[in-house]
Structure 1
């Protein structure tokens, strides 16, 4: 295993995208999308290809997913009480929970933020000692971005917000490059760069907008015109972005626009990397690339991320830099709450005692092939998921609050059916797999204080 020299405390550039699913990177087997920069990061680092989001209790998955990344703990414990079920855009991280940038700051890092912070301002303020072009919203038009300058008081009043017209991805990359070029301190830095791409509106600038012709876009193998049953959230905003039943030509255009946003994002990340190289600190910097969640875009007849299929719960996770093996694609199971412990391990920083995530560093060091035997995800009070990497169980509930949803399960063999096209739950031969995963899911729900922990995992059971 080829490892690079690892200084005791590397700089960190933490890049997080919005809506970028794991599959939409060329290095990961997608032959349509162009991502040369991300491909090069994967080739010179390690890609954790089986990383899942913990999930969320609202349709706005950005905020809870980012809270899990920031804190390394269950969203049920990271966010303020069960109140999150009643707020569509719940974002508040508990004041007694320490975040990744806060922990890095306390360990001596200069912490600096750029771009989207979809959680509360108090958690931001205790985490960062600097920042630029700060977006305290879930989304915006990419050429009308409401931002704040860094406010040392932590107030960020509405009257100090102003509109930037530079395309969001370029705006945030400009700010990141400026920070790198101007940084003169001896202590290492933790630079957090949170993009709003490739989230809609998918309006990439030229020449990227014309890079993909919808006629050349293949439909995914799991494309269907309509989802076969009520998932419990069929009328959420994202599902209204395309006509029903889904039209093949319209879906191809959506995918073309999505890829255009990703390719533009990829090029702008390249500018950040070039700034590190020009500064002479590229090889002394840990680069992390990930996303808050994935997206359907026509898969399973869905458009959004408000589901627990692989296209929505699997995210890219790439590490490149000191202590990271080169050219590895790891299939070990991971959760997004494992990102913080892994960054801390690579930076020789002690974790807060409440951290629940597991460091992936033992995998990088060749000490083990995996750190988890199962990962699970949640969505609202209507869906739960458990997978061991091959078999995957999705449990659907009827919501007593909205009277939507379906009492049923699905079982997929991801080894032989990675696109989740064949539900095998009705086959008696698979009863053992269902029972095993259901037991694992029930144990996980109890351990993480899931609000549904007392509900039966399999319909008809008590």
Structure 2
């Protein structure tokens, strides 16, 4: 029988054929849905942020002297970016501006905080935060660990919170990492009664990991997607690590950085800030090795806690439908260039490790990046299918993830108070010190450790002029208030700024 011929002359057959075809299509669609359930679900977000972790302190990024198996696994299963930058700081507490940029997606001088860390009330009402974007989209939003911004912004951003560390660091005299201050949030209560303060009683990295694991294991409504913001306090000083981890990094076996110096060649501004006087002058090789021993031990211990969170994510059945972004707020000098802290524009301090893993993310791929940490927010939003708020300045790096391009910016900018300004391409970096009218120029391809200053070489004079012009362009973009010809006066005016 010719089925087609029969169908042409039989209305009843037409009806049967239409019904059968519809059933077949629905069956095929249903079958596809069952085979790809993750595609039907909203994407979960797990954001992991460490504190003061230099860009070269993950084994997968090329450091053979440190053991970071969980971060290595994350990098090998996802995509890593080699050149990701903190844009700078208006104060010595570089951690605070970095977190403000991450949580607003905005540039350094456009975050809603002035140089004293005062909130602009118009900002609070006007701009949507990272967590708030997901909260308003029906996500369970959870935060644990270091926050360092106002608790008003915290309330706007999160539905759940446990082991929140409100402050910038857990100082040695207040318990350090062994007994830090934490706060739990109870959303059923209002006002101050919603927050309960307590002492951690164990290492801060373990307290934070405990809270993250507990959230994943005991969610009340698993039908909702989640957005987790996990902020470790480590490896920020005080350099406290369990003995079993310290034993893995004997002081006498630690290698000094190739760019170690006993003194920085000149006072770059805030040379005697708290971070810089954690060890004496001249820098002692013995002391720097001792500090590196503790620093590496803290990082490996934190890596183990990250492993616990990732294991619980797997156990929850949500791993295949979760975007993981791991990074740090900035780097740290730890003896390089004769410095200890992050109040400088060298790569060891302005860059951070960065890994993205999740559905449709390339596996085992490395790209350059050339973007700032404030791209975390719009990237997570775009990958989750959410609208990026208009207030966000930073670009999403989805085009980089998709391989459409290798870098977000041709040049990046950096600032530290009124003491330092920086502009960097993939090839060269210029650092300018307005207070002392000094310039440094480094060939970043031939001299990635920034050892040889080329600024006095006549053949680079035109390059310096061109890069200073690029710096001025970036100052306009980020609304940098500094007048390079009058740095003290222009920045004093910024410090006195009041919001009207």
- Do both proteins adopt the same fold according to a TM-score greater than 0.5, normalized to the shorter chain? yes
Aligned equivalents of 2:154, 2:198: Cα separation in 1: 19
Cα distance change on mapping 1:233 and 1:410 into 2, 3 Å: same
Aligned equivalents of 2:59, 2:193: Cα separation in 1: 42
- Give yes or no for contact 1:133–1:147 (8 Å, CA) kept in 2: yes
2:438 to 404, 408, 415: 408
Aligned to 2:132: 102
Aligned to 1:150: 185
Deviations 1:41-70 (A, max 9, x none): 110111111000011110011111001111
Aligned to 1:388: 425
1:114 to 144, 169, 175: 144
Q: How far 1:422 moved relative to its partner?
A: 0.5
5 Å matches for 1:138-287? 138-140=168-170, 141-152=176-187, 155-156=191-192, 160-183=196-219, 184-287=221-324
Aligned equivalents of 2:416, 2:118: Cα separation in 1: 15
Aligned equivalents of 1:249, 1:91: Cα separation in 2: 41
Aligned to 1:419: 449
Aligned equivalents of 1:381, 1:7: Cα separation in 2: 50
Cα distance change on mapping 1:182 and 1:302 into 2, 3 Å: same
5 Å matches for 1:263-342? 263-342=300-379
Aligned equivalents of 1:119, 1:235: Cα separation in 2: 26
User: What is the TM-score when the length of structure 2 is the normalising length?
Assistant: 0.85
Q: How far 1:328 moved relative to its partner?
A: 1.1
Deviations 1:53-108 (A, max 9, x none): 01111001111100111111012111333xx2xx3xx2747302211111111122
1:59 to 72, 81, 92: 92
Structure 1 gaps, min length 5: 399-405
1:10 aligns with 2:43: yes
- Give yes or no for contact 1:115–1:195 (8 Å, CA) kept in 2: yes
Cα distance change on mapping 1:154 and 1:241 into 2, 3 Å: farther
1:47 to 80, 83, 98: 80
5 Å matches for 1:408-447? 408-447=438-477
Aligned equivalents of 2:93, 2:190: Cα separation in 1: 24
User: What is the TM-score when the length of structure 1 is the normalising length?
Assistant: 0.92
1:33 aligns with 2:77: no
Question: Which structure is larger by alpha-carbon Rg, 1 or 2?
Answer: 2
Deviations 1:252-284 (A, max 9, x none): 111111000000000100000000111111121
Q: How far 1:157 moved relative to its partner?
A: 7.4
Aligned to 1:344: 381
Structure 2 gaps, min length 5: 1-37, 171-175, 488-500
Aligned equivalents of 1:78, 1:157: Cα separation in 2: 29
Q: How far 1:160 moved relative to its partner?
A: 4.0
Q: How far 1:154 moved relative to its partner?
A: 7.0
Aligned to 2:26: none
Deviations 1:152-190 (A, max 9, x none): 467447994221212100000001001001124212100
What's the Cα RMSD here?
1.9
2:394 to 351, 357, 360: 357
Name the stretch that deviates more: 358-367 or 264-273: 358-367
- Give yes or no for contact 1:63–1:91 (8 Å, CA) kept in 2: no
Aligned equivalents of 1:157, 1:382: Cα separation in 2: 43
SS state of the match for residue 352, structure 1? Answer: coil
Aligned equivalents of 2:348, 2:118: Cα separation in 1: 23
Cα distance change on mapping 1:299 and 1:91 into 2, 3 Å: farther
Q: How far 1:7 moved relative to its partner?
A: 5.8
Q: How far 1:346 moved relative to its partner?
A: 1.3
- Give yes or no for contact 2:143–2:164 (8 Å, CA) kept in 1: yes
- Give yes or no for contact 2:143–2:161 (8 Å, CA) kept in 1: yes
Q: How far 1:446 moved relative to its partner?
A: 1.2
Instruction: Report which of the two has the higher share of helix.
Output: 2
Deviations 1:177-231 (A, max 9, x none): 0100112421210011101000111110131121101221111111000001011
SS state of the match for residue 157, structure 2? Answer: coil
Aligned equivalents of 1:437, 1:418: Cα separation in 2: 18
